[in-house]
Structure 1
Amino acid sequence: MVSIIIASVDSRALSKVKSNIQETIAIPYELIAIENAKGERGICSIYNEGAKRAQFELLCFVHEDVRFETMGWGKWITAAFESNSKLGLLGVAGGAYKSRAPSSWFCYDGYHWLHQIGVIQHFKYDMDRPVTDHSLDYESNLKKVAALDGVLLCSRKSIMLNHEFDETLLTGFHGYDIDISLAIGQHYDVMATNQFLITHFSEGYYGADWFEATLRVQRKWEHLLPIMTVQLTKQQLKFLEKRNMRFFLHIARQIGLSKIKRLRLLWGSRIVKLTGWATFLKLHLELVKKRTYRL
């Protein structure tokens, strides 16, 4: 039995996912959909309310713009938690390295093998981009990761009541997935699976809200970062920190941060111990260089 919690902004999308869940989940469930069409509440606040209202021990926080493609996916989730008492958070997209440089759950232009993804991705903001089935790139299994994408997050109610989403720090719709991954990951396993598949009908958007939330999460956890669930060499660490910092500086430029603010951001990241001085100084070129990213 599972309680499914959705922050809803689109009644049509909610109706579709309700029908889809009913057709595919194959276990008893309840659906807690909390209306937020005007965006007056942040997702952390909504998810915390949903966790408190849930009747069942197993919780599933999910976006409403998804479609579950695997029949009986509820059984996969139940089995994962039953087979691992240390499992604290489960998702369908995650990365095994969370850099000290501000970043999302994955490494930009980084090592493919660090990730585990069970998502067919559509692109709402880049209509010319083809639909991508990320699951084809990975073996079907569970992978321990450092951080998960928030499109789907499953946990136990007993865990979520003790490790709530940080609605004081994060009042919008970004950063909550990284933050809760790092919080729960201090005490439990955080894992990603592609043993069942979902379609996600929109991609992430890297605007000013995402930038600010990411920076807040990074500052909260910088004393623990980087976090990794695989062994990495010094060269690999240098590469990943460089790539993530470079991308974050690119977003800083895109949202209009001045060169001096981007310089302070670079020096405030404290990544030089991981990159070495040569790579760190080369990153200063990103303050003037223009790059093209397909986000």
Structure 2
Amino acid sequence: MSQVIISSATRLPAEKFWQESALGQSLRRLSFDDRLRASVAFENSQGLPTIYNRLIQEAPAGSLLVFVHDDVWLEDFFFPQRIAEGLQVFDAIGVAGNRRRVRNQPAWCFVNDRFIWDERSHLSGSVAHGAAPFGPVTCFGLAPAECELLDGVLLAAKRDVLVENGVTFDERFSFHFYDLDFCRSLRAKELRLGTWPIALTHQSGGSFGSPAWRAGREAYLRKWEAIVPS
């Protein structure tokens, strides 16, 4: 099976990341699997796209790339197998997503900037939340399912597919909207996105509505609604 490389960024120094962070502890637990390799930016102050693009540029041909937040507990000890299976079906996968996209959509799960949830019939995947691993699970809808948008908490793609199609993360979206933008870039190349069942717990529920989020939304809408109308 291809090597699976996990890319993440953290404000923590290396020792604290491995000892204290959800992702660091998860990777230590999964260290028995030599198909997994971690690429972590410690004490990071750069945007996530900068870190993720560095891996796309440096990763060996044939590798499978996983882009994940540092506050995620990876609870599936078949993790490399899940990633490989999902990427045999789709060009990029995530754990939650939306089968459709509507105009001026502010997140994969919302249909407007009042944070109204889309109908459950359009949503797919499951994510647990909580400060500790194995948190309460929110099931958005059945997975696997082909989607238009995926949640950026975890995204995975084949390195070769990204390189051959010239798809990278847009570095103007430091921490917000990089995931929606990435999905739009993939779909613009007619690549297929989908959810895949992978057990994880996310410690954060997001920061929708913050000033940084609103600035990211304005940049996202300027970029996409003028080019690819919904």
State the TM-score, normalized to the length of structure 2: 0.82
Of residues 87, 93, 98, the one that matches 1:95 is 98
Q: Aligned AA for 1:43?
A: L
Q: Aligned AA for 2:124?
A: Q
Who wins on radius of gyration, i.e. which is larger?
1
* Percent identity of paired positions between Structure 1 and Structure 2: 22
CA–CA distance in 2 between the matches of 1:29 and 1:52?
A: 18
State the match for 1:62 in structure 2. Answer: 68
CA–CA distance in 2 between the matches of 1:27 and 1:134?
A: 31
Q: Aligned AA for 1:28?
A: R
Structure 1: gaps (5+ residues) = 124-130, 227-295
Q: Aligned AA for 1:215?
A: E
State the TM-score, normalized to the length of structure 1: 0.65
CA–CA distance in 2 between the matches of 1:116 and 1:22?
A: 29
State the match for 2:113 in structure 1. Answer: none
Q: Secondary structure at the residue paired with 1:98?
A: coil
Check conservation: 1:2, 1:30, Cα contact below 8 A.
Answer: yes
Q: Deviations over 1:96-119 (max 9, x none)?
A: 222212411112232012111321
Structure 2: gaps (5+ residues) = 111-115
State the match for 2:200 in structure 1. Answer: 198
CA–CA distance in 1 between the matches of 2:91 and 2:18?
A: 27
Q: Aligned AA for 1:7?
A: A
State the match for 2:56 in structure 1. Answer: 51
Q: Aligned AA for 2:213?
A: W
Q: CA deviation at 1:13?
A: 4.2
Q: Secondary structure at the residue paired with 1:117?
A: strand
State the match for 1:215 in structure 2. Answer: 218
Check conservation: 2:128, 2:136, Cα contact below 8 A.
Answer: yes
101-110 vs 184-193, greater mean Cα deviation: 101-110
CA–CA distance in 2 between the matches of 1:54 and 1:36?
A: 21
State the match for 1:116 in structure 2. Answer: 124
Note the 1:1-295 alignment, pairs <5 A: 1-11=3-13, 12-15=16-19, 16=21, 17-24=23-30, 26=33, 28-37=35-44, 39=45, 41-55=46-60, 57-82=63-88, 84=89, 87-107=90-110, 108-122=116-130, 132-135=136-139, 138-139=141-142, 141-161=143-163, 162-167=166-171, 169-170=172-173, 172-186=174-188, 187-193=190-196, 195-206=197-208, 207-222=210-225, 223-226=227-230
CA–CA distance in 2 between the matches of 1:18 and 1:66?
A: 9
Q: Secondary structure at the residue paired with 2:91?
A: strand
Q: Deviations over 1:60-111 (max 9, x none)?
A: 01111111122202101101223x3xx2211011112222124111122320
